[in-house]
Structure 1
Amino acid sequence: MSKTIANKNTRAIFITATDTDAGKTYVARVLVNALVKQNKRVAVYKPISAGCEQVNGQLINEDALALTTLANCQQPIAEVNPIAFLEPIAPHIAANKQGSAITIADIERGYNKLAQRNADVIITEGAGGWRLPLGNNVFLSEFAANKQMDVILVVNMKLGCLNHAMLTYQAILADGLNCIGWVANCQSDMDYLTDNINELKTMITAPCLGVLAFDPDINNAEKHIQSALLEL
């Protein structure tokens, strides 16, 4: 399938991570905020979420809402996050409990609706890690591969991250996609953090796009992201 939607110059980027709660949304927010400040039209897509609140009869995911608030293509949250589940459990299990299924076709249908937004950049945030199962031996990574998206890998810097990062990076490449870089997300204390980051820099051939520690002011976080990422 085509890498772009309606605007042939649209940049399509998929943000994945080494595991769940690794900082995908935080990195996505920093990136969206920076691109909007460059006067680029930025649309966001978080096709699947699990862990929502009922607000006026609608399931609202906190991460999807954060992205919706920052983007500037006037998207309703239902467009940003079309597949949402109340419980914070594996999405395919949540779907099965409801007697439904998640399909790549459903995800692509939601993505194709973004065509009317005529965005310069579409930032898609995955769920969980790269091989998030959708059920029936289908994985969310197949969606990114079908659309031939560029991929940013967020590495949750903690014990075990070297193995997780390399397995994820190798899987992205094996799927025929371009990993344009990775981000070291340092939200918890890690012994020998610098040593581990330096080791990842030797193991992963894609560039390190930034080293982030959590800062509630995402404008400050931009200072720790390489200019190459902000100039997409």
Structure 2
Amino acid sequence: MSKGIFITATGTDVGKTYVTALLVKKLRDAGVNAGYYKAALSGAEEQPDGSWLPGDAAFVAQTAGIPAKPEELVSYIYKTAVSPHLAALREGNPVEMSKIVRDYQASLATYDYVTMEGSGGIICPIRWDEQHILLEDIIKELGLGTLVISSAALGSINACVLTVYYLQQHGIPVRGIILNNYDADDFMQADNKRMIEAISGVPVVAAVKPNAQELDIDVQFLQSLFK
């Protein structure tokens, strides 16, 4: 039976896509049939032929060696680089939960382990017109647990603990935390890691060094985080 996990972050530009790519690559390099899926992507990149490339999906597919076109890995692609709910209000084609469920199930039918990447931080509106859809609604609908990607820089204790608290208060399991751009020799970052674990009660399962090409985590342990 295929398994999945949802990747969220403490905010925009924390490195969620970068870490997601390393995570999927780790699995695939170990011979695991691992795939990637994203419900909605904003800020697609215009190509010379006039088409629009979902950059996040393209980066993950290239980094991890996923044999699929990037546009096949995303349900909704928007040009405007804003929250999906606002992009849809400008461009049309609002997110439908039924399509996300279908596309995610199709991904599960193709891959044994599916890593689903969110949009922005956890409190990201995906649709906000006559219907209201937040990221948490999608996570609950698909029955997924989460990994939280956080910076290790100044302010990360507050941002990470609040993100974990929000998820837990909304009944969403948090499987672990991954720190990005982590320098173990930096006394503040080392303390941030310690305090994030102590206050949130959630383990930091991996710490990604700046410009790392591999995720430093045991493959079998990584697989155990998927449900």
TM-score of the two chains, using structure 2 as the length reference: 0.86
Q: Counterpart of 1:167?
A: 162
Please tell me whether the aligned partners of residues 29 and 67 of structure 1 are also in contact (alpha carbons under 8 angstroms): yes
Q: Counterpart of 1:114?
A: 107
Q: Counterpart of 2:203?
A: 207
1:123 aligns with 2:115: yes
Consecutive unaligned residues of structure 2, counting only runs of 5 or more, are none
Kindly state the Cα deviation for residue 18 of structure 1 after the two structures are TM-superposed: 0.4
Please tell me whether the aligned partners of residues 25 and 65 of structure 2 are also in contact (alpha carbons under 8 angstroms): no
How large is the RMSD of aligned CA atoms in angstroms?
A: 2.4
Deviations 1:12-53 (A, max 9, x none): 110000001111111111111110122111111022111121
Once residues 96 and 106 of structure 1 are traced to their aligned partners in structure 2, the CA distance between those partners, rounded to angstroms, is 18
Please tell me whether the aligned partners of residues 182 and 207 of structure 2 are also in contact (alpha carbons under 8 angstroms): no
1:104 aligns with 2:100: no
Consecutive unaligned residues of structure 1, counting only runs of 5 or more, are 1-8
Kindly state the Cα deviation for residue 160 of structure 1 after the two structures are TM-superposed: 2.5
Kindly state the Cα deviation for residue 187 of structure 1 after the two structures are TM-superposed: 6.6
Kindly state the Cα deviation for residue 178 of structure 1 after the two structures are TM-superposed: 1.9
Secondary structure class of the residue paired with 1:127: coil
Kindly state the Cα deviation for residue 151 of structure 1 after the two structures are TM-superposed: 0.7
Q: How does 1:1-232 map to 2 (within 5 A)?
A: 9-55=1-47, 56-71=49-64, 74-117=67-110, 119-134=111-126, 135-136=128-129, 137-186=132-181, 192-215=188-211, 218-219=213-214, 222-223=215-216, 225=217, 229-232=221-224
Secondary structure class of the residue paired with 1:46: strand
Structure 1 residue identity aligned to 2:202: A
Once residues 148 and 88 of structure 2 are traced to their aligned partners in structure 1, the CA distance between those partners, rounded to angstroms, is 26
Structure 2 residue identity aligned to 1:214: P
Identify the range of structure 1 (156-165 vs 85-94) with the bigger mean alpha-carbon deviation.
Answer: 156-165
Kindly state the Cα deviation for residue 186 of structure 1 after the two structures are TM-superposed: 2.3
Kindly state the Cα deviation for residue 214 of structure 1 after the two structures are TM-superposed: 2.4
Please tell me whether the aligned partners of residues 16 and 126 of structure 1 are also in contact (alpha carbons under 8 angstroms): yes
Kindly state the Cα deviation for residue 230 of structure 1 after the two structures are TM-superposed: 3.4
Please tell me whether the aligned partners of residues 210 and 226 of structure 1 are also in contact (alpha carbons under 8 angstroms): no
TM-score of the two chains, using structure 1 as the length reference: 0.84
Distance 1:10 1:97, change over 3 A: same
Deviations 1:157-184 (A, max 9, x none): 2332222212211121123222110011
Once residues 71 and 90 of structure 1 are traced to their aligned partners in structure 2, the CA distance between those partners, rounded to angstroms, is 26
Percent identical across equivalent pairs? 24
Kindly state the Cα deviation for residue 200 of structure 1 after the two structures are TM-superposed: 0.6
Identify the range of structure 1 (14-23 vs 140-149) with the bigger mean alpha-carbon deviation.
Answer: 140-149
